[in-house]
Amino acid sequence: MVVPTYNERENIGPLVRDLLALGEEIDVWVADDGSPDGTAEAVREAMAAHPGRVDLLLRSEKAGRGAAVIAAFRKGLADPKRYDALVEMDADFSHHPRELPKLLAGLEDRDMVVGSRYVEGGGTSDWGFWRPMLSWLANKYVAVVAGVPIRDTTSGYRAYRREVLEETEFDRIKIRGYVVHGEMAYQAWIHGFRLGEVPIHFKNRAREASKLSSEEIAMALINFALLRFRYGLRPRRRAATGAGGAAHV
Ligand SMILES: Nc1nc2c(ncn2[C@@H]2O[C@H](COP(=O)(O)OP(=O)(O)O)[C@@H](O)[C@H]2O)c(=O)[nH]1
Ligand SMILES: [Mg+2]
């Protein structure tokens, strides 16, 4: 499990505890960008309480959720434990640990499984009116302009088989910030991996308002439209897996 954190001191201890309780085979790596609230201290406490199962990837400056997760994935792939699957989720319980077993079960016949708010049984709450509208619209847009057969390409709760990440060209990823997930999914799709979605419920945390700037939204809209051109117009399917398309697992 890779959990990016920025100022999650209150959440990270309980989250790590809940995740580890789901199974012996699960390790949790927290990718913290030097949170001023002392999140790293809370992670160190969790490391002491669960020796060998928790790690802290501390970076000195805030460089965004996407970059933190990618750095953790690179390290995870190189780890001698040879993890079969790598999963990312938010630290603030918007993504709930109780839904993790569904994502992992989905990996049995899929290569990448997205926790989706926009398939039957999924949803959002405490997100006001505009944010869900914006998110839903953004995902419709991505489906149309990029063609990825996933209804929630911007969801940050997702599980990958290691092979998917081994083939991901991280250096090619241009999309930054909130929507980096769209480009990760796009690569997985054009590499011919089998994508799946399971319904999740996204509960927004009570605190602050949206941090999305209009500039960020505009950049995202443009970048998604350019994906097909940057990567070539046709998805390159791999014959070996006979893959392609998505299923709701
Ligand atoms: N490492 C790292 N994590 C971040 C950064 N920004 C946000 N996060 C984490 O990414 C997750 C999602 O961020 P959040 O603020 O909840 O975004 P929202 O729910 O989409 O409004 C949380 O676990 C944050 O702590 C960052 O710059 N660096
Ligand atoms: Mg959040």
The number of the ligand 1 atom at minimal distance from the alpha carbon of 5 is 25
> Per the structure, how many domains does the chain have?
1
Long-range CB contacts (within 8 A, 24+) of 180-183: 180/64, 180/65, 180/66, 180/69, 180/70, 181/66, 181/153, 181/154, 181/155, 181/156, 182/142, 182/146, 182/148, 182/153, 182/154, 182/220, 182/224, 182/227, 183/223, 183/227
32 Cβ inside 6 Å of ligand 1: yes
Give distance in angstroms: CA of 5 to centre of ligand 1.
6
| Shortest-distance Cα residue to atom 21 of ligand 1 | 210
83 within some domain: yes
Domain carrying residue 214? 2-235
> How far is residue 26's CA from residue 28's CA, in Å, rounded to a whole number?
7
Give tens-digit pLDDT for 109-125.
999 999 999 999 999 99
158 within some domain: yes
pLDDT at 234: 60
Give tens-digit pLDDT for 44-73.
999 999 999 999 999 999 999 999 999 999
Region for 114 from its dihedrals, namely left if φ exceeds 0, alpha if ψ lies in -120 to 50, beta otherwise: beta
E-strand ranges in 49-121 read: 54-58, 85-88, 112-116
166 within some domain: yes
* pLDDT at residue 107 is higher than 90: yes
What is the pTM (predicted TM-score) of this model?
0.91
CATH code (residue 103) = 3.90.550.10
35 within some domain: yes
> How far is residue 101's CA from residue 225's CA, in Å, rounded to a whole number?
34
pLDDT at 237: 61
242 within some domain: no
248 within some domain: no
* pLDDT at residue 241 is higher than 70: no
Give tens-digit pLDDT for 117-157.
999 999 999 888 888 888 888 888 888 888 899 999 989 99
What average pLDDT does this structure show over 175-202? 89
Give distance in angstroms: CA of 242 to centre of ligand 1.
36
Ligand found nearest the CA of 67: 1
| Shortest-distance Cα residue to atom 27 of ligand 1 | 64
Find all residues with CB under 8 Å of 242, minimum gap 6, and list them.
Answer: none
245 within some domain: no
8 Cβ inside 6 Å of ligand 1: yes
240 within some domain: no
139 Cβ inside 6 Å of ligand 1: no
